[in-house]
Chain A
Amino acid sequence: MTMLDDTSGQTSAPRQTPQALIAARNIAVFLAKAPPSAFGLIVLAVLILSALFAPLLATHDPYVQDLQNTLQAPSAAHFFGTDELGRDIYSRLLYGSRITLTIIGLVSIVVGPIGLFVGTVAGYFGGKVDIVLMRLTDIFLSFPSLILSLAFVAALGPSLNNAIVAISLTAWPPIARLARAETLTFRQADYIAAARLQGASATRIIWRSIVPMCMPSVLIRLTLNMATVILTAAGLGFLGLGAQPPLPEWGAMIATGRRYMIDSWWLVTFPGLAILSVSLAFNLLGDGLRDALDPKQMNRR
């Protein structure tokens, strides 16, 4: 039997670069090419940069009150004006981006693994395990997420950390459903059968074979979820159940600005725009990721 012919011409990818890095770079390039997802990437970059360099970019201390200068309209001294206690809104928005990023980050870190675990285990084992886990998921799904978070925060006490816990508790079920649906399509595949014939344990099959296949759609779903997470966090802040004053959380800023809204439009407009653009950016980014990670696009990567 002769060697196969095309071994001489293999110069495709340099051996040292890990496949994951190449894929990540290609996805980023793909996202940057389409205008909507490029907008998403830019807003996300601005968000991260302003969170990182908030102390450098801010013109004022976000917590210092200046009762001589309350409710000042936007001007050169205060780009976005001042609030009812004379605090600089521009600086508060910059510091608020740190809170937003913390919420998104922590919620995603908690929700992704929980959803993935519940979904893949339910999907792979099926039967009773599936029934128990999925009915549990259904119970969480059957409440509107804001109401359920409200209930959790009310029980745990209002604070930023409790808001994060509450949002996480309500955000994992859609991920679990998705991961289960994906797992059901892979569990009969021959490569799973082959892994079983090699003596692989269920844990190993789920971790090594099923989780990598579920990752793209879970990542997309997480990104799309972030918009909801931001809105829920802002909603909780607005209701006074999330971040507590004087933390510059965007939703809480709108809540306190509401009373002065008629005379001083800038109090609610700028935090509102920030929430709008960030949640829009995550939606667009999620859509872009869906295109980038589409299996049909695999060959292009």
Chain B
Amino acid sequence: MKPVSVEHMSIRFGAVTILPDVSFDVAAGECFGLVGESGSGKSTILRCASMLLSIWTGDVTIGGRSVREMPLNERCRTLQMVFQDPYGSLHPRHSIRTVLSEPLKIQGLDDRERRMREALGDVGLPASFLDRYPHQLSGGQRQRVAIARALILEPEVLLLDEPTSALDVSVQAEILNLLVRLREERGFTYIMVSHDLAVIDHMCDRFAVMQSGEIVEVLPREAIKGNEATHPYARELIGASLEYESVV
């Protein structure tokens, strides 16, 4: 278990500033949520922290080590990401065996067969799925494979970029329960992006409300129910979500 700390993260594309100055801390083994409307920079934080984007300033430390200074292989084995769209995050021409064995080959890990079977078992898929292709799987199964791919390098920190928003409601619950169970078993630190407060309520210990690239308020999970936010935008967001849920 390792804590994550984001310090003064800032990124701009040309004249447009996406994140002016974002800082927050996530305790070891905690699940931290990021909520906000589309375009508020939630996913960008994850892409910066994982170094998929490298042109940002500031720093992200995992267990006291800066992600910039970590060697590539160490970074890969510390931090992994699960993407929003399971239809786009698996290579359409790679079998599940290829998807899972590539990271092991790159990192030079042996005993691949056993690791692949274990990873599939962890996400509740039978080992016979190894020889399937993504187009033979349902959305929920694909997302499980994507989670297995993230798990197979045994990282400490998982970045979840709206892992359930492309799935239908019943499958969403399965995937969320899977993520909760994995955290209990393995002690991952999660940073989870979502625009769905119900998902945050189910998963996270604390969450940050974002508006146009800035964190307006960090709240504990318990604050959702009675809408205890103090910032007007956070109040509005939580209020709208509660209203929506009461209608549904």
Contact = CB atoms under 8 A, between A and B. Distances in A.
Nearest to B122: A1
Secondary structure dominating the interface of A: helix
Nearest to A12: B136
Interface in A159-218: 189-191, 193-200, 204, 208-209, 212-213
Chain B, interface size category, equals: 35 or more
B114 interface: no
Contacts of B146: 194
Interface in B78-130: 79-81, 83-85, 88-95, 102-103, 106-107, 124-126, 128-129
Interface stretch (B23-31, B173-181, B209-217, B219-227): B173-181
B52 interface: yes
Contact of B76 (A1, A2, A3, A198): A198
Nearest to B103: A198
Contacts of B172: none
B124 A199 contact: no
Contacts of A198: 76, 102-103, 106-107, 149, 153
Contacts, number: 79
B246 to A, nearest CB: 30
Interface in B35-69: 47, 50, 52
Given A2-B124, A190-B85, A199-B73, A213 B93 contact: yes
B52 A196 contact: yes
A136 to B, nearest CB: 27
Contact of B50 (A195, A197, A299): A197
Given A1-B124, A4-B140, A199-B75, 5 more contacts: A1-B174, A4-B124, A7-B129, A194-B149, A298-B92
Interface of B: 47, 50, 52, 72-73, 75-76, 79-81, 83-85, 88-95, 102-103, 106-107, 124-126, 128-129, 131-133, 135-136, 140-141, 146, 149, 153, 174, 177-178, 181
21 contacts: A1-B181, A3-B125, A10-B128, A10-B132, A19-B95, A190-B84, A190-B85, A193-B47, A193-B81, A197-B50, A197-B52, A197-B79, A197-B81, A198-B102, A198-B107, A199-B72, A199-B76, A200-B102, A204-B106, A209-B91, A212-B91
